[in-house]
Amino acid sequence: MGIYMDRNTITDYFKSSKNHSLSGKTKSYEWRLSALKKLRKGILQYETEILKALQKDLGKSDFEGYVSEVAFVVLDIEHTIKKLKKWMKPKRVSSPMLQWPCRSYIHYEPLGTVLIISPWNYPFQLLMAPLVGALAAGNNAILKPSEVASATAQICEKIISDSFLPEEVMVIQGAVEETTALLELPFDHIFYTGNGMVARIVMEKAAKNLVPVTLELGGKSPCMVLGENDLELVGRRIAWGKFFNTGQTCVAPDYILVEKNQKDELLKHIKNALEFFYTKNPKESPDYGRIINERHWDRITGLYKAEDVLIGGEAQREEHYIAPTLVHADLNSPVMKEEIFGPVLPILEVENVNEALSIVHKFDKPLACYLFSKDSEIEARVVNEISSGGLCVNDSLVHLSSQTLPFGGVGESGLGRYHGEFSFLTFSHQKSVMKRYQILDLLLRYPPYLGKLPIIRKVLNYIG
């Protein structure tokens, strides 16, 4: 376990996986159902070890680890098992009158062998959730977990090796060298979750083999507090969404835009919520985690100055600890120049919805957008004027938990979507099938065409 592979060994495993895919064994409903059940069984069997690994890697509490990682994936598996037969069924669609009599439908088939590359912030969920879709669609998969969250990577490898044959699903450990070797292979799909810089490398490598990609990225997700609000509730929900997983969430609120007359009261309620969640000393709270490593600690603490701190600000490098922190900021502040990905939340005053929208438009399209407001007109404007991967009104993060909503970015925040049926579709080829019958052959379409053009114009205008 955990032994890094050389390039030749990686290529051998890839070839084995491709051969297994070509055998057609994974196409049946029975294989897919069995694979999903084996994955669920392995996760439940190693639940305690998964939670321990998440605690070791990220200081994540058992509650957060269970809700956002273990249960998230298990519920996705159970939803997929329930719906799989329906999703697999060919979808009948209408046929053009000109081709009558015929029947048209969409046939869903596996892509083949797919590569899933996951990040360190939700190291279990973001490796296993795409795998659920890949298996449901009848694919083989090679998984590359993040080496930064090494304890979780190890338990993921254990679950997979106990549950599947290597040619069905395989975990390959490693860092840049191993990932580079994987990206040079002609997979049938690559699913990458991480940052935009690496995503460009993934896309460039994939392009050389014409491999389609799904890119789940991030960005500066705005959180707007506009119009009439219950600010105690708003403060509590913002605090929870921002500081869950110590702010290391791709859809965490990245900055607050609040009307001037609501700022002080909102800050008061956020502070009260944080003290209620984690006490006045979050460092001692069993429910508050840690930054993944010193490199990220250095980056995050370098984004703000002590004089800008409104709440929190305490930090200890040797323990990878940064307290839940709110800071005053403007558009020129370092904290507004990049995605924070940590427990620091800048707050900016705005006069009205117009100013808030203009600020959001200065940034790339975000993965998530949050609006807190009881005003339906403001809500309608945000829905219609802000392009984002997802929008959540009057809460934070929770839109991810819906298996009936697609999750994914737009523009710089990502390419493609998954969760629920959208995962199945991402990892399926939707093959167009038209079946015609050997009766009523329309001779008008065959040469010679002399004199037929006026007739075909009338026919097409009539049916159009």
Q: Which residues pair with 390 in a beta bridge?
A: 368
Residue 342 and residue 364 in contact, taking contact as beta carbons nearer than 8 Å: no
**DSSP per-residue codes, 124-139:** THHHHHHHHHHHHTT-
Question: Torsion angle of alpha carbons 75, 78, 84, 87, nearest 10°?
Answer: -30
Of 91, 58, 51, which is closest to residue 74 (Cα–Cα)? Answer: 51
Residues in the chain, how many? Answer: 464
259 catalytic residue (yes or no):
no
Q: Is the dihedral of CA 397, 403, 406, 409 positive or negative?
A: positive
The single residue of 250, 369, 412, 421 carrying the catalytic annotation is: 250
Of 391, 428, 430, which is closest to residue 410 (Cα–Cα)? Answer: 391
Q: For residue 219, give every residue at least 6 positions away whose Cβ sits within 8 Å of its Cβ, in sequence order, or none.
A: 254, 339, 363, 364, 365, 366, 367, 409, 412, 413
Of 321, 299, 292, 249, which is closest to residue 56 (Cα–Cα)? Answer: 292
Q: Return the DSSP state at 313.
A: -
The single residue of 64, 69, 178, 216 carrying the catalytic annotation is: 216
From CA 324, how far away is CA 274, in angstroms rounded? Answer: 8
Residue 135 and residue 32 in contact, taking contact as beta carbons nearer than 8 Å: yes
What is the token pair recorded at 151? 């304890």
Residue 253 and residue 370 in contact, taking contact as beta carbons nearer than 8 Å: yes
216 catalytic residue (yes or no):
yes
Give how far Cα 125 sits from Cα of 116, 175, 250, 288, Å: 12, 19, 13, 19
Beta-sheet pairing, 189-193 with 390-393:
unpaired
Q: Which residues pair with 213 in a beta bridge?
A: 190
Catalytic positions? 216, 250
